[in-house]
Structure 1
């Protein structure tokens, strides 16, 4: 909804109003407004000053269509012309003008809408790996300061917190921040935020929605340490397989193929408090291992009854052999 702010006799007055404002029929609307005058007009701001609104530039206190002086939340002597219309349905025209009757007019025009403003999701798209921490912010304009919209998440994936914030242009916005951990269960399933605007004229509430469809990638592949093996036959080798454990109560199971020796599994905690399943396999390098893939497979168990998912990491060892050749010299002795 476009708001146009103009000023008559701008060499005298400066007025600050939002460039954009949304007005919902049947609800209240608060218009943040402030102004300034040259020092020589400061004395004009006294208790006799009154404010009026009209849908015509040719108006005065007698023919003003709206006289919301009693509904003003601002104080004219403090150069605050903030005005609240408790019933925006009274605003039948698409353009209104504001007049401060201290002999200098201020002009303010705006339009109104029957549909509520849609909330905004930040970020607008979500592409993360399973186990990542996600923070979604839903923002909806609050044209009626005393009755800001109520915000609800569907599904409710975690803790959320609502605040009423003020923009630079003095308009207000209701925000809700929801924090959760990304899961494969969220992949492809719509996440929506609904803003519910309450009407003050007794008519039914109206709603507006914003949504996104998250792209949650599978469990990242496990990691092998070292990533390559180049040793001589007979050397002792220790391979470590690590796989993230986003679900602490059901960490992945790790298996080696082929199983070349003893292995031991542990569940460790990283510095960022995430957890990881590790398996260490120890074996003695042999020429029969040379060029044959060694793999570690992580098996993730689903809690929704769907099939388990697996992820694999592998390497191909380079085992060198040391050949020792024995030479014998035959010495022929001739008896003289």
Structure 2
């Protein structure tokens, strides 16, 4: 039996020929969070004819530094004897199914090392696999969650699908993903080494410029405090112009001054039409001024006596769409015009009237005093 074991060990160390079927398979490297667990997804294969040796006496052996380095975990130890393990953990795989997946608990940076797997049975099957190993690095921080796709620029009404994913080195304590604000339906998915959360919603202009945050909350073992990481994304929603209710016309004497306000993304352009034709005249030159990043303001002043003034139209457009508004000039607020000379005569008449009232008042007082003296 000892000779068989030595033969298996020698076969494992050699490359080629009959030894090709003896192998272990695991990630080349893993990153874990301090105070949490790390799971090594592991499988292995053995030579033909040795499957019967995989029985209940077999244990998973993990060593560091090399296949024959110090043993840090032996799944065959039970009860108080588990204290002999340098690392506390659990064999979650089934060795009979050639699954050697193992979870190590409460890892710390001092556990950074290269980990090798082996199988040890109470029979001739005692093997170490030197060709594959996992380099484990324990850190005090993890990368922030990733949001895809990173730039979001869609048109109003389009469906939007955003996915937030975060690493999950400890499947027993996967991070909790949260979207803020929650503006749609959320569906979560957990895999062996990561978790994801998908947010679905329909884009509206109210979402434009909104900042979405995905946060990943990691709970840790052995009394370690929780850690949270965030990532942010700003939405850019393109929408057709909308002429705002603040658009209006005001009569000033024989003139009509109209203001048109329009909101859209990209910022819209504004045009004026009289009788279906573009305005090419204005008492005061037509102006177009941006109000903020998405609102445009335009003003036009025309003569009220213009026969086409009743068909004054404001047009607004951008790359997404357009809007139009027909001004009802007949219902405009009227601000009457005043001439400076009229203002002068009006003031003069008011002053004379006030003076006469004062004279009448004092005359009445003098007459009353004279009557009292006469008596």
**TM-score, with length taken from structure 1:** 0.58
Q: Compared with structure 1, are the counterparts of its residues 20 and 296 closer, same or farther at alpha carbon in structure 2 (3 Å cutoff)? A: farther
Q: Compared with structure 1, are the counterparts of its residues 19 and 182 closer, same or farther at alpha carbon in structure 2 (3 Å cutoff)? A: farther
Give the structure 2 partner of residue 151 of structure 1.
177
Q: How many residues align?
A: 228
Which string of whole-angstrom CA distances, capped at 9 and with x for unpartnered residues, describes residues 88-115 of structure 1? 2386233222222233212422232221
Give the structure 2 partner of residue 93 of structure 1.
112
Q: Compared with structure 1, are the counterparts of its residues 85 and 51 closer, same or farther at alpha carbon in structure 2 (3 Å cutoff)? A: same
Q: Compared with structure 1, are the counterparts of its residues 198 and 58 closer, same or farther at alpha carbon in structure 2 (3 Å cutoff)? A: same
Moved over 4 A (4+): 7-10, 256-260, 292-298
- 8 Å contact 1:68–1:85 — kept in the other structure? no
- 8 Å contact 1:13–1:104 — kept in the other structure? no
Q: In 1, Cα distance between the equivalents of 2:13 and 2:150?
A: 41
Q: In 2, Cα distance between the equivalents of 1:187 and 1:36?
A: 55
Give the structure 2 partner of residue 104 of structure 1.
127
Point out the structure with max Rg over C-alpha: 2
Cα distance, 1:21 vs structure 2: 3.0
Cα distance, 1:8 vs structure 2: 5.0
2:88 matches 1:64: no
Q: In 2, Cα distance between the equivalents of 1:91 and 1:45?
A: 33
Q: Compared with structure 1, are the counterparts of its residues 34 and 214 closer, same or farther at alpha carbon in structure 2 (3 Å cutoff)? A: same
Q: In 2, Cα distance between the equivalents of 1:145 and 1:118?
A: 18
- 8 Å contact 1:129–1:220 — kept in the other structure? no
Alignment of 1:161-240 (within 5 A): 161-165=187-191, 171-219=192-240
Which of 53, 64, 71 is 2:62 aligned to? 53
Larger helix fraction of residues: 2
Give the structure 2 partner of residue 312 of structure 1.
323
- 8 Å contact 1:14–1:36 — kept in the other structure? yes
2:143 matches 1:134: no
Q: Does the residue aligned with 2:99 lie in a helix, a strand or coil?
A: coil
Q: In 2, Cα distance between the equivalents of 1:221 and 1:8?
A: 75
Which string of whole-angstrom CA distances, capped at 9 and with x for unpartnered residues, describes residues 40-76 of structure 1? 332332223211222221537xx41233456101111
Q: Does the residue aligned with 2:144 lie in a helix, a strand or coil?
A: coil
Name the Cα RMSD after superposition.
Answer: 3.4
Q: Does the residue aligned with 1:193 lie in a helix, a strand or coil?
A: strand
2:24 matches 1:15: yes
**TM-score, with length taken from structure 2:** 0.53
Q: 5+ residue gaps in structure 1?
A: 1-6, 166-170, 223-255, 261-288, 299-309, 315-336
Which string of whole-angstrom CA distances, capped at 9 and with x for unpartnered residues, describes residues 254-293 of structure 1? xx96688xxxxxxxxxxxxxxxxxxxxxxxxxxxx9xx99
Q: Does the residue aligned with 1:39 lie in a helix, a strand or coil?
A: coil
- 8 Å contact 2:215–2:230 — kept in the other structure? yes
Q: In 2, Cα distance between the equivalents of 1:190 and 1:36?
A: 50
Q: In 2, Cα distance between the equivalents of 1:42 and 1:94?
A: 31
Cα distance, 1:117 vs structure 2: 3.5
Q: Compared with structure 1, are the counterparts of its residues 151 and 259 closer, same or farther at alpha carbon in structure 2 (3 Å cutoff)? A: farther
- 8 Å contact 1:155–1:191 — kept in the other structure? yes
Q: 5+ residue gaps in structure 2?
A: 1-11, 78-89, 244-271, 277-307, 326-375
- 8 Å contact 2:241–2:316 — kept in the other structure? no
Q: In 2, Cα distance between the equivalents of 1:111 and 1:69?
A: 23
Q: In 2, Cα distance between the equivalents of 1:185 and 1:78?
A: 55
2:121 matches 1:114: no
Q: Does the residue aligned with 1:99 lie in a helix, a strand or coil?
A: strand
